[in-house]
Each structure stands twice: as C-alpha cells, then as structure tokens.
Homo-oligomer: A and B are copies of this chain.
Amino acid sequence: MQQVEFFVNEEAVSVTARLNDQSFELPALWLRERCQDEQNLDQITQQRLFDPHQLDANVSLDSIRKISDGIYQLMFSDGYQGDYDFNEFRADFDTYDGAPTPQPWTANFDKSKFYVDYVELNDEQGLLKALEKFLTYGVLIVNEIPNEANMVLDVAEKFGHVRETNFGRSFEVYTRPDYIDLSSKSVPLGPHTDNPYRDPMPGIQLLHCIKNETSGGLSTLVDSLSVLAQLKSENPEGYQLLNTVPIRYRHIDKSIELIERRTMIESDVSGRVTGISYSPRLDYLPLLPQHQLAVFHRARQRLGELLNSSDYEWKFKLEPGQLQMFHNTRVLHGRTGFDASEGLRHLQGAYIDLDAPKGRYKAIKRQLGL
C-alpha cells in the first residue's frame, strides 16, 4: 500500500492528505459522507445506514478537535458531529484496493515462485500464500493434485465460483491416438486470450492435466504486462492506438453468434494497463485511415512477435496431477505441437471470475489480523 499521510489544521479547520509529494485537501462533503459512528455505519458489514446522496452539497466543516492519535472529532454545518479514525481513509488512497501490486515477469524469471502444493490450499495460511502468488504474477501452478474426478472444479471453488459457459461448468481437452489421423501432428497454439468475443470475457482459467503421454504439447505462458512495457517503449504511437481503438471479435456456432468490440490493450478505470485480448483468428482490423491502420497493424504484428519470443514466453511441461491457473487477459496461454499418436492427452478446464481471488485474499488477511 502507498504511504499516505494526513495533516490536520485545527485552527484553519482543514484536513490535507499527502501522497507521493502531492497534497489533496479533503473536502467537507467527502469527510461528511465517510462518517464512522455506529448509527450511520454498520460496524460489521461497513454498509451505510443512511443515504449519503441526500447530504447537502454545500456542507462545510465547522470545527476539528483531536481526541487521540489519528482520531479526531469533526463538526459539520449540517449539525452532524462524529469521531473519525483517519486510518480508515488509507483505503481510499490505495490504488490497488488492498490487493498485491502485480509484478511483471519474463522468461528468465524464477518460476519456482509460481508453485504451491494442493494440500496447502486447505488451510488459510496456505491459501493466502497461493492467492498472493496468483495476484502478483497472474499465474499459479498447483502440484500434487489428488487423482480424482473433477479436481479442476474443486480447485476452482477454493478460489472463486465456477463460471459456466457454452462448454458447461468444465470442459475437456482430449486427444486419443485412435481418434485422429495418425500421420498428423496436433498443431501448436500460439499465445492467446480465450473468448475475446464474450461479454464479460472469462477472467481466470484453470487447466488441470490428467494425462499426457505425448512428448510434446508443452504449455506456454507469457506475461502481457512485460510484453506491453516493451511495445510501449518501442512504438508509443502504435501502443496508443491498440489501447484506444476498439476492434471487433466474432464467434459463430450453431446456437450462438457472439460479437464484441474491445480494445486489444485493456486498461482499468485508473488508466493502468491490465492485459490484452489477442486472438489472431477472431479479430477484425478497425476502419482507420490508411496510414493509421498501417501503424495499428504493425503494432499488432510486433505484439505477436513479442508474445512468441523466447525472451518472454515460459515453456514448460504441465505434468499429470498439476494444474495451471492464469489471469486470462494478463497472462496469455498456448501450447507447442505434439504427436497425438504417442498416446493419450487429457486436460480438464474451467473458468472463474476475476474478483473472488482478490476478495478472498483481503478477507483472509483481515481474519488472520495481517
């Protein structure tokens, strides 16, 4: 969390927050809305017991009295007077809202940081560690998963709620030597994001390896945050276009025709980049003037090169009994080709939403008093 300091001037009746060498005067209305007494705020759920939309827009702060360190009594022009613990305001200045700060990684990063054992997920300390890894790196590898049916759903439910799609609650990635043309190899899949044509896109994907008797079919993962930092430094103009011009993604099958428009580089409301939607078989170039379109296209091309570069891509064998869980738009996934005639290959997948891991991380920290 960033260090914010509060300065109270009792004489001038003003409260100032200082963050990263910037000062912000805290308006009376802002303070009035954040009253903390138990008549106005449920002390357990932190849910308000009044409607702050009805407050007087012109409310002013009439007086401030220090009660103890960090605790002040504030008195307002609408007659409200209450004690404020200024520590409660820290959350407002925490731009990651209590979640760990994402740490971008590249191919030569120490990948042992991505691993946990399945048994660790059964107690709160272990689950907290796993959540911290996932939220920091956008990826988690779970080892030593018991050899039972539907473990992908079991792991998914430790982190969130299963997100059902047209594939059902979970889906199978399955190849058997006798099902396919023995002469053909199964083609590699470059790094991509799943379902850019959906609204909302799946936030997190889990893939559990049940069997892999082929020597190929390695998993690949790449952190788009690292790739995007590079792209931005090489080609700021192209980066800007990918970040602002929406393109169209389309998926058609018998029962559904999904079209969604989104920018290739995605940002959150604070303007921070959160990931990309990259799916070369499903996207459509936007209609831009010739020159801009070429800039857009070259940036998209370079993005693909970087995503596939050995500087950024982590290539590893997901062994039977292991599961990879990754942030669908931050960490792109793919797989190398394999020879399906070598044997069975069976993965089971599922999706969960983005918010639950963040929310559980914070709840466990609170419970453990961390």
Question: Which A residues lie at the B interface, using CB under 8 A?
Answer: 17, 24-30, 33-34, 44-49, 51-55, 57-58, 91-92, 97-98, 161-166, 198-200, 203, 246, 248, 250-263, 268-270, 280-285, 287-290, 293-294, 297-298, 300-301, 304, 353-356, 358-360, 362-363, 366
A-B contact pairs, 28 of them (CB 8 A): A24-B287, A27-B288, A27-B289, A27-B290, A28-B290, A30-B285, A33-B285, A34-B284, A45-B251, A45-B253, A48-B280, A48-B281, A51-B280, A52-B283, A54-B301, A54-B304, A57-B298, A57-B301, A58-B294, A98-B257, A163-B164, A199-B354, A199-B355, A200-B203, A200-B353, A256-B363, A257-B359, A257-B362
- Nearest residue (CB) in B for A254 is B363
A44 CB contacts on chain B under 8 angstroms: 252
A337 vs chain B, min Cβ distance (A):
15
- Nearest residue (CB) in B for A365 is B257
A57 CB contacts on chain B under 8 angstroms: 294, 297-298, 301
A91 CB contacts on chain B under 8 angstroms: 259
A335 vs chain B, min Cβ distance (A):
16
User: Are B52 and A285 in contact, with the CB atoms below 8 A?
Assistant: yes
User: Are B304 and A53 in contact, with the CB atoms below 8 A?
Assistant: yes
A199 CB contacts on chain B under 8 angstroms: 203, 353-355
Query: Which of A34, A48, A164, A289 has its CB near the most chain B CB atoms (within 10 A)?
Result: A164
A115 vs chain B, min Cβ distance (A):
25
A8 vs chain B, min Cβ distance (A):
17
A183 vs chain B, min Cβ distance (A):
20
User: Contacts A161-B165, A164-B164, A301-B53 known; A33 to B284 CB distance under 8 Å?
Assistant: yes
A255 contact from B47, B92, B260, B360, Cβ within 8 A: B360
User: Are A259 and B97 in contact, with the CB atoms below 8 A?
Assistant: yes
**Given contacts A52-B280, A97-B259, A200-B200, could you give 7 more A-B pairs where the C-beta distance is less than 8 Å?**
A25-B290, A47-B282, A48-B282, A51-B281, A53-B301, A198-B355, A199-B353
